[in-house]
Structure 1
Amino acid sequence: MHRIHWFDEQIRSGRFPNSGSLARQFEISRRQAQRDIEYMVNTLRAPLMYAAKYRGYCYEDQTFRLPHLYMTEEEQRVLKYLAHRYRHYDYDQSDAVKRVAHLLERFTMEEHLPDQQQFPVFAAQPRQLQWFELLTHAAADARKTHIYYKDHEGEHQITFCPVKITSQFNADYVVGYETDPLLQTAIRLESIVQLKALDEHFECSQDAWISSWEDALPVRKPFTAQIRFHEAQQSEQWQGYRIREQQGQICWIEFYDADVFLQHLYASEWEELISPGWLRRKLMKRTEEIAQRLSIQHQAEKE
């Protein structure tokens, strides 16, 4: 928006700015500058007109004024969540990513990022944003919560004392305990089905809180799954995972947590898991176990 305001001032001063002058002023690419100009036309409804004689833009309607800009509460919550995710990112280009987290936390765009810099994309699901916000407030107020969640062991309903929210391997967790502060556990936010903050408060001495979750996360390179789909993918992500390369219907997809990635394989449509072999064997073993349990259940029902 700082660039757009500068562009607007240049027009009103009769200097006929263009994408080149905008790019030079802010040390960005002409492609990025042209996107700013397109944003003014398509989103801000600016009546821009290109004057070939002066090789720059002017306003066709001189009464036009840029709209007052503000950020809604929902947008603030999304940025707060993304700042949290970027702050806990410890993989490729982590220093640059954490600078982005700092910028998001300040809700400003005073610094400009080069176009060639690629940052991870995190899916901000509405329900997960809601859990993140509720648990953040509950931890800050030391309020107990009632959590209903599902994991590989089944369904659980517990009264939980949330202490902090953290991230590991591109996944969010709430760390806390049920009754004993030393018997801590972590619940993945994606696994939460229902969540309610209770009126009851809890006490937790930070001196007694000894947790491996406090340690720095290890830097870890992602695994790569080679998957053939029924048709070519039209985006750079599949189920929130980065597609590193694509050749026709075959994609090379990066992931960190094998168990979580398997859950997406269970629920999604695909033709063939080409590699790695260890992931294919793990998937086969899991499906055989499920089939065996269903067979035992069916046999019991017949008897």
Structure 2
Amino acid sequence: MSNMHRIHWFDEQIRSGRFPNSSWLAREFEISRRQAQRDIEYMAISLRAPLVYIAKYRGYCYEDQTYRLPHLYMTEEEQQVLKYLAHRYRHYNYDQSDAVKRVAHLLERFTLEKQQTGSSQLPVFKADPQQLQSFEILSHAIAESRKVHIHYKDHAGERQFTWCPLKMVSQFNADYVVGYEFDPLQQTAIRLEGMIHVQMTNDTFQCQTDGLLGGWEESMPVRKPFVAKIRMREVQHTELWQGYRIRENQDQVHWIEFYDTEAFLQHLFVTEWEELLSPTWLRRKLQQSAEGIIDRLAMSSRQT
């Protein structure tokens, strides 16, 4: 384990008012007290931490409470976020895609170098904690050819099933895992955002993926974006509406681009807006989905 991980822990103990010392550090990470003391000296000398030993408490605190460790390390959580973002950038095929993919390569190496992409801006992706967790579990399952049990929810309702995951892909602002339930030839892609819970099982599967990973593209959304005309409560002053590109706006009316109809319908259910003006087919789909939910609620009320 790197000394920066230990230093990060020591810093957290100080900020929690616990007055840690070299004995604490040595015991926590199972290292010698001499090594622990070297870590503390490294903080004071190289990282310029304003450490002060308080004899009354037999531990350290910061003389200057505004001190922050220089960002020379990454926690495991930060590495998971960068891994997820690298995955998203690697599958980005639109504006400035070459520059974005170079950033993806750097992110995969977990470097902290500043990226120079000219005057262009990188696309913004929301790193939802639940999706990050699902992404991590599915990545391990794919690497080990392990089946996963998925609790899934979309406009059709909730269901649970066992899944054989083969590949992670990103298309049009949504993450998917490609896999199958029973037949390797019947592969489909399901969205991570619809996963309520994912659990890796001990069951393994065998699937020769060469030549098989391809049929699932038929279920993916079309490439040319659809455009929804939506009246908002307030004017959006950014280029994105929670991840969806705003093509233009006139006062409170906004033209929003989207690719995956089902994902956008779910987005409409959980975000605030005033009126869906067009297209008509999207209004109809939204109404059908809402009526389906109301019917299921009415049915469950009658059963109770």
**TM-score calculated relative to the size of structure 1:** 0.67
Give the letter for the 1:113 counterpart: Q
Residues 91 and 219 of structure 1 are in contact (CA less than 8 Å); yes or no, is this contact kept in structure 2? Answer: no
Q: Are residue 173 (structure 1) and residue 215 (structure 2) matched?
A: no
Aligned partner of 2:148 in structure 1 is 145
In the other structure, the counterpart of 1:237 is 240
| Residue 194 of structure 2 is aligned to residue 191 of structure 1 | yes
Per the alignment, residue 75 of structure 1 pairs with: 78
Q: Could you tell me which of 155, 160, 170 is aligned with 1:157?
A: 160
* Aligned mates of 1:121, 1:65 — CA distance in 2: 27
Look up the SS of the partner of 2:256 in the other structure. Answer: strand
* Separation in 1, partners of 2:136, 2:112: 24
Query: Tell me, which stretches of 5 or more residues in structure 1 are unaligned?
Result: 1-43, 46-63
Residue type of the partner of 1:160?
Answer: W
Gaps of 5+ in 2: 1-46, 49-66
1:208: Cα distance to partner?
Answer: 6.4
1:263 maps to 2:273:
no
1:107 aligns with 2:113: no
Q: Which residue of 2 aligns with 1:98?
A: 101
- Structure 1 294/94 Cα, relative in aligned 2: closer, same or farther at 3 Å? same
1:234, distance to aligned residue in structure 2 (A): 5.5
The 1:249–1:145 alpha-carbon spacing in structure 2 relative to 1, beyond 3 Å, is: same
Q: Could you tell me whether the CA contact under 8 Å between 2:150 and 2:163 is conserved in 1?
A: yes
Q: Deviation at 1:90? A: 1.6
Q: Please list the CA deviations of residues 228-281 of structure 1 after superposition, one character each: whole Å capped at 9, or x if unmatched.
A: 122233554323323333443222322111222122223332222233344334
Residues 263-282 of structure 1 mapped to structure 2, 5 A cutoff: 263-282=266-285
Query: 1:219 Cα deviation (Å)?
Result: 8.4
* Whole-angstrom CA distance in 1 between matches of 2:196 and 2:274: 30
Change (3 A) 1:109 1:244: farther
SS in 2 for 1:183: coil
Give SS of 1:206's match: coil
CA distance in 1, matches of 2:297, 2:207: 46
1:156 corresponds to which letter in structure 2?
R
CA distance in structure 2 between the aligned counterparts of 1:294 and 1:205, rounded to whole angstroms: 41
Offset at 1:174?
A: 1.2
Pairwise CA distance, 1:95: 1.9
Pick closer, same or farther for the CA change 1:116–1:142 going to 2, 3 Å: same
1:118 & 1:221 partners in 2: Cα distance? 21
CA distance in 2, matches of 1:177, 1:109: 37
- Which 10-residue stretch deviates more, 282-291 or 197-206? 282-291
* Cα distance in structure 2, aligned partners of 1:253 and 1:220: 15
Q: Which amino acid aligns with 1:94?
A: S
Identify the residue that residue 122 of structure 1 maps to in structure 2.
125
CA contact (8 A) 1:88 1:167 kept: yes
Q: Could you report, residue by residue, the CA deviation over 1:4-32 in whole angstroms, capped at 9, with x for unpaired residues?
A: xxxxxxxxxxxxxxxxxxxxxxxxxxxxx
Summarize deviations over 1:196-252 as a string: whole Å, max 9, x none: 11122221123463533479x998342222221222335543233233334432223
Counterparts in 2 of 1:212 and 1:97: CA distance versus 1, 3 Å: farther
Tell me which amino acid in the other structure corresponds to 1:244. Answer: R
Q: What CA deviation, in whole Å up to 9, does each residue of 1:177-205 have, x standing for no partner?
A: 22322222222111111111112222112
Write the distance in 1 (CA, Å) between the matches of 2:293 and 2:257. 26
Q: Would the alpha carbon gap of residues 116 and 287 (structure 1) be closer, same or farther in structure 2, given more than 3 Å must change?
A: same
- Counterpart Cα distance in 1 of 2:287 and 2:68: 62
Aligned mates of 1:187, 1:256 — CA distance in 2: 15
Aligned to 1:200: 203
Report the Cα distance in structure 2 between the residues aligned to 1:155 and 1:67, rounded to whole angstroms: 45
* Cα 1:213/1:102, change in 2 over 3 Å: farther
Q: Are 2:99 and 2:117, in contact at CA under 8 Å, matched by a contact in 1?
A: no
The alpha-carbon deviation at position 294 of structure 1 amounts to 6.0
CA RMSD of aligned residues (A): 3.4
Contact 1:149-1:155 within 8 A present in 2 as well: yes
Alignment length (residue pairs): 239
Residue number in structure 2 paired with 1:12: none
Q: In the alignment, what sits opposite 2:231?
A: 228
Q: Which moved more, 1:99-108 or 1:241-250?
A: 241-250
